[in-house]
């Protein structure tokens, strides 16, 4: 795996961790950010939620209802995710969106590495996170591979030879 890809995936994991701060569980949603050129669509403007028809609201809600009903074991995680999202600032939400897009573009191996690094760093206090980041940046690709294998939880550990 080339060095640039490795740096990108590690940067993603570190950026996600650097922004991980305890958030209030119930907070009023922040005001929406001003629309950027990418957010403006070419069609006629759509009304606020309160002015959508019942059919329009149903069209928007149906996918979430389906996910909720199809995955009872994931409901708590989905609910907690929604609570965290509501408490985020617009800047935090944008960083989360960018991180999700970067994650989607990663290979399965890059995703595995990012997951292992994130899991480990999430459990550390800030000063130990910084120390691990500094150590990580000084590691060779082989040392990083060995670290990932040594620190992967059973859920994220891959079969031998699959990396």
Instruction: Per-residue pLDDT tens, the chain, 163 aa: give them.
Output: 455 565 566 655 555 555 544 333 344 455 556 666 555 667 889 999 999 999 999 999 999 999 999 999 999 999 999 999 999 999 999 999 999 999 999 999 889 888 888 888 888 999 999 999 899 899 998 998 898 888 887 765 544 344 4
Q: How many domains does the chain have?
A: 1
Residue 16 contacts by C-beta under 8 Å, 6 or more apart in sequence? Answer: 99, 118
Residue 61 included in any domain: no
Residue 59 included in any domain: no
CA gyration radius for the chain? 20
Residue 28 included in any domain: no
Residue 149 contacts by C-beta under 8 Å, 6 or more apart in sequence? Answer: 157, 163
Containing domain of residue 139, as a range?
A: 1-18+72-157
Residue 124 included in any domain: yes
Residue 26 included in any domain: no
């Amino acid at each position: 795996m080339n060095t640039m890809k490795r740096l990108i995936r590690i940067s993603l994991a570190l950026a996600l961790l650097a922004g991980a701060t305890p958030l209030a569980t119930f907070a009023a949603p922040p005001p929406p950010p001003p629309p950027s050129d990418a957010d403006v669509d070419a069609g006629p403007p759509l009304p606020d939620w309160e002015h959508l028809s019942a059919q329009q609201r149903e069209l928007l809600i149906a996918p979430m209802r389906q996910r909720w009903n199809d995955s009872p074991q994931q409901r708590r995680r989905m609910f907690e995710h929604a609570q965290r999202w509501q408490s985020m600032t617009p800047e935090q939400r944008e960083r989360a969106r960018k991180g999700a897009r970067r994650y989607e573009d990663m290979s399965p191996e890059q995703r595995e590495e990012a997951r292992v690094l994130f899991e480990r760093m999430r459990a550390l206090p800030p000063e130990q996170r910084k120390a691990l980041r500094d150590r990580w940046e000084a590691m060779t690709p082989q040392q990083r591979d060995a670290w990932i294998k040594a620190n992967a939880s059973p859920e994220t550990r891959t079969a031998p030879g699959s990396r």
